[in-house]
């Protein structure tokens, strides 16, 4: 009798672990990583150029021009986080919290 109780308790302890691992496995199988399109070398150079120009303009306190170039960078490569982060800092400075949050989410 004691054996059956121990066996039953052991099976009860093992079953939830197995069920949980199957659920995790199902979740892992259904989620696929985001595939980032690869920019051509020329597009990457253009992106890097505009991004660097935007950063330089920001440090020169030419904010309107920098803002426009950061926006242009997002059109070239919408998955690169750097211009989105920079845009969110502009929106925070303008006290546009919702817009800042949206652009920060795009940065991640």
Q: pLDDT tens-digit profile of 12-21?
A: 555 555 444 5
- Regarding whether 26 and 50 lie in a shared domain, the answer is no
Q: Tell me the whole-structure pTM to 2 decimals.
A: 0.64
* Structural domain boundaries, residue 16: 1-32
Q: Are 46 and 78 within one domain?
A: yes
- The mean per-residue pLDDT over the stretch 37-47 comes to 88
In this structure, the answer to whether residues 50 and 94 fall within a common structural domain is yes
Instruction: Give yes or no: residues 71 and 89 share one domain.
Output: yes
Q: Tell me the three-class secondary structure of the chain, residue by residue.
A: CHHHHHHHHHHHHHHHHHHHHHHHHHHHHHCCCCCCCCCCHHHHHHHHHHHHHHHHHHHCCCHHHHHHHHHHHHHHCCCCHHHHHHHHHHHHHCCCHHHHHHHHHHHC
Residue 70's domain is classified under what CATH number?
1.25.40.10
Number of folded domains that form the chain: 2
Q: What is the pLDDT of residue 19?
A: 47
- For the chain, what percent of residues have pLDDT higher than 90? 45
């Amino acid at each position: 009798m004691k054996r059956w109780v121990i066996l039953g308790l052991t099976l009860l302890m093992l079953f939830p672990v197995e069920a949980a691992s199957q659920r995790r496995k199902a979740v892992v199988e259904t989620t696929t990583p985001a595939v980032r399109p690869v920019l051509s070398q020329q597009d990457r150079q253009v992106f890097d150029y505009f991004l660097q120009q935007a950063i330089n303009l920001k440090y020169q306190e030419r904010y309107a021009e920098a803002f426009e170039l950061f926006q242009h960078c997002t059109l070239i490569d919408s998955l690169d986080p750097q211009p989105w982060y920079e845009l969110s800092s502009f929106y925070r400075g303008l006290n546009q919290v919702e817009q800042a949050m949206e652009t920060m989410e795009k940065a991640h």
